[in-house]
Amino acid sequence: MARRLAAVSVDLDAIHHYFAIHGLVSAGYDLDRAYDRALERMSAWAESRRIPLTLFAVGEDLERDGAARLVGVLADRGHAVENHSYSHRYDLTRLDPATIRSEIEAGSKAIERVTGRKPTGFRAPGYTVNDALFDALDEAAVAFDSSVFPCPAYYFAKAAAMGGMRLRGRESRSVLDTPRVLTAPRSPYRPGARWSDPAGKSRRFVELPVQVTRGARLPFIGTMLGVVGARASARLARACVGEPLVNLELHAIDFLDASEGLSTLAPYQPELRVPLAARMAALDAALDVLAEGGHAFVRLDEAARAFA
């Protein structure tokens, strides 16, 4: 039997990115303090579970000393810090090739400055990829990308939310992927010239898709687990057990409670309407199922080597 792997990654988006994507103003809250608290909690949680994390950091966020210090400490504790672009532009794939390259390079340099290690992997803002971005990742010689989220439920929910915002006359900063994402592979693959094509194998890096379940391709991500609760999270996890890699994606905000300055966001981020303790219980329930199912927890750079 092939080895069963699992990886927990956390996108370290600073909290102000959420206010931006929903077109909200964050006046009056100390969002930096909330962010630092999220990272400290995340670190303690990983230690209690004895799992290594893969952290996708936004280069620009590391210009704040407090964030840089915390991310440096996390790297020293053995967690991998990978590249989530320099400025987290949701329209990254719509930029010209030179700007896409500089978003990747500047993000990578900012992370290397803080951790002393050059990132080997990339995750695109908002899960949005295209062939131009994959070209740039090939040029940057990454070992892996982990951005493809082949999830119909997410795709249609995002399309509906963006349509709703337009109807209300508000502008969303999200970019909708092509429907190709719906049929993209759900297990690690080496992409072809077309990013969703596993047969071409012309890229030098591996794609480690964000996890969806077998069958209905339901999202197996922190946001979903928090909303559905512990029992349903365990069920979702069982629909992933046995996969070569279970790639569970979380966000720093998953470690915060709405009462910690985020109540304005709660109407837009359903998971924030669930108390933090309940969300953590759901997350633990899902990880317990994966551990009992024989999955070994690794960093995504280690997983990438296993599937290279």
Q: How far apart are CA 177 and CA 130, in angstroms?
A: 8
Smallest gap from residue 88 Cβ to Zn ion (A) = 6
Smallest gap from residue 59 Cβ to Zn ion (A) = 12
The residue number whose beta carbon is nearest to Zn ion equals 13
Q: Which residue has tokens 């024989």? A: 294
CB count in 10 Å sphere of residue 101: 18
Q: Which is nearer to Zn ion, 149 or 285 (CB)?
A: 149
Cβ atoms 269, 212 nearer than 8 A? no
Q: Which is nearer to Zn ion, 123 or 279 (CB)?
A: 123
Smallest gap from residue 125 Cβ to Zn ion (A) = 5
Q: Which is nearer to Zn ion, 89 or 299 (CB)?
A: 89
Smallest gap from residue 10 Cβ to Zn ion (A) = 10
CB count in 10 Å sphere of residue 156: 12
Q: Which is nearer to Zn ion, 10 or 227 (CB)?
A: 10
DSSP for 199-266, written as a single string: TT--SSSEE-PPPB-TTT--B-BHHHHHHH-HHHHHHHHHTTTTSSEEEEEEEGGGG--TTTTTTTTT
Smallest gap from residue 292 Cβ to Zn ion (A) = 30
User: Interface residues with Zn ion (CB under 5 A)?
Assistant: 11, 13, 125
Q: How far apart are CA 100 and CA 91, in angstroms?
A: 10
- Which residues lie across from 8 on neighbouring strands? 53, 248
Q: Which is nearer to Zn ion, 122 or 195 (CB)?
A: 122
Smallest gap from residue 219 Cβ to Zn ion (A) = 15
Q: Which is nearer to Zn ion, 125 or 222 (CB)?
A: 125
Residue 57, both tokens: 């950091």
